[in-house]
Amino acid sequence: MPLPRPLRFLPALTVLACAPQPPSTGTPQARPPVELAAPAGDEWYRHAVFYEIFVRSFQDSNGDGKGDLPGLISRLDYLNDGDPGTTTDLGVDALWLMPVFDSPSYHGYDVVDYERIHPDYGTVEDFERLCAEAHRRGMRVILDLVLNHSSSQHPWFVESASSRTSAKRDWYQWSDTDPGWRQPWDLFSKGATWHERNGAYYYGVFWGGMPDLNLKTPAVREEVKRIASFWLGKGADGFRLDAARYLIETGGGLSGQADTPETHAFWKELAAHVRSVKPDAVLVGENWTTTPLIATYYGSTARVPGGDELPLNFNFPLAEELLEAARTGDAADVTVKLAEMRSHYPAGVADAPFLTNHDQVRVATQLGGKAGSLATAASLLLTLPGSPFLYYGEELGMANGTTPNDEAKRTPMAWDASAGAGFTTGTPWFSFSPGAEHTHVAAQVNTPGSLLSRYRELIRARHASPALERGGLKLLTPTQGRAPTLAFLRTVGDERVLVVHNLADVALTAGPFELEGDSSEVLFADPSVGSPLRNGGGWSVTLPGRSTGIWRLR
């Protein structure tokens, strides 16, 4: 769900790295390096590359202008054709489908039937076929599961609102008077959260059309677990959990409406249930907040490696800094954010980095469509630890639409230069984004140096290196002062991979980095990136502006 961006959080602790920056930036006093441990456990999702899809905008199969599941199935080979010997597919490991359940809205975040696919998208049988075809190609599929609220048209709510003595009255929260709570994500919000119906008030933190489910009621919790089991049985490999911070309220105000102990307790309960049904299924939390609070949603690592609550949580603060670094050519705040993660995240958890998603203005628009900035953003995202998420069209440099509403962030995918852009033979449900006539798959798929080619090559480099795919990180760039280059070492077992990004628009030399090894093997390098040179006790490398080099050290 769209939420206002939180205030930028300034960490209380800054840890300095011991390796120097390029000579022009000076050499700070050596201190312990920032290190992030490799994700614990061997579950697939701890190192997968995910791809977020709005089904309505991906591929139409029947000419009605709306994307659907059969259309998505027809495009699976673009995402991953299952053949590691080919290079024309993107190579992602998993798909996240935005809501596909029956709903009265275009976006689907107000569900009226949790066991029925939206008629625009197809049927449950189509979903089962999608999972089978994705699995055959080596991809997993996770569903957007909206548990914080339902639609006000859901039969549960209709029954709950019908009478004070309804059997489902306590499936939602009701009050005889308006308690006056405001929306907890904005200190100055005037948005009401209690809404009148039949002489009483019900709680709906987003708006009246989305009443919050009352997960304090045991019957609701059991029904939610049953629904999760249903979709796992149909082939789903896990769930993305919308508005995960706002599940169970204990009173008004931020402390009572967000991040409550009861919310954490329920996520642990659901996680244990999901593991009992499908041990390798994943839960991904949308917790749009600060790093210390996001860290709490992993839960305890004492009993379950990687945490007993939500094993993946979107890293909103890091996403903001990655885009800022790509925009400004300065990675200083990225290094500070990595240090902050080291201070707060439990050791061994898997991060879920991303650039933007369906609630945010697209990357290409935020970065002004600048090729160098878009290349930098891709390189940063796909070389960091954890499980990166890509938003559909991001790999093409797809721009935002021109309207101010959320539909403009979710415009149809452009596949070619035809009238319907290869998306539909009819009239698209929403206009294509500006530049779709040349920013499309066909224009980039066979073009070396295109943004799509860059994403494919970086994902393949990631899959070719256990250290890149599932290793830890040792930061080589200081967390103090300007950082036109960003360097780190990715390690797992005996493999050590040096990653160096030049974010500036001009050539720079990075290093020397005091690392072991006598030779280097290139895993990815932009044109004109020099090989790392060993001079005395350290490695140095010269890179053109806006370029990246990745080498295995031996």
Answer yes or no: are the C-beta atoms of 33 and 19 closer than 8 Å: yes
Which residue positions in the chain have pLDDT lower than 70?
1-31, 187, 189
474 three-state secondary structure = strand
Task: Give the neighbor-by-neighbor strand order of the sheet with 140-145.
Answer: 312-313, 282-285, 238-241, 140-145, 94-97, 50-53, 389-391
User: What are the tens digits of pLDDT across the range 54-106?
Assistant: 999 999 999 999 999 999 999 999 999 999 999 999 999 999 999 999 999 99
70 three-state secondary structure = helix
CA 551 from centre of chain: 26
Question: CATH fold of 470-553, please?
Answer: Immunoglobulin-like (2.60.40)
Instruction: Give catalytic residues, as residue numbers.
Output: 242, 286
Answer yes or no: are the C-beta atoms of 271 and 312 closer than 8 Å: no
State the pLDDT at residue 1.
Answer: 60
State the pLDDT at residue 537.
Answer: 78
Domain boundaries, given as residue ranges, for the chain: 470-553
State the pLDDT at residue 25.
Answer: 37
Residues with Cβ within 8 Å of residue 290, at least 6 apart in sequence: 6, 9, 317
CA 212 from centre of chain: 24
User: What are the tens digits of pLDDT across the range 408-432?
Assistant: 999 999 999 999 999 999 999 999 9
**Residue 503: half-sphere exposure toward Cβ, Cα within 13 Å:** 24
Predicted model pTM = 0.94
Q: What angle do CA 67, 94, 34 make, to 5 degrees?
A: 130
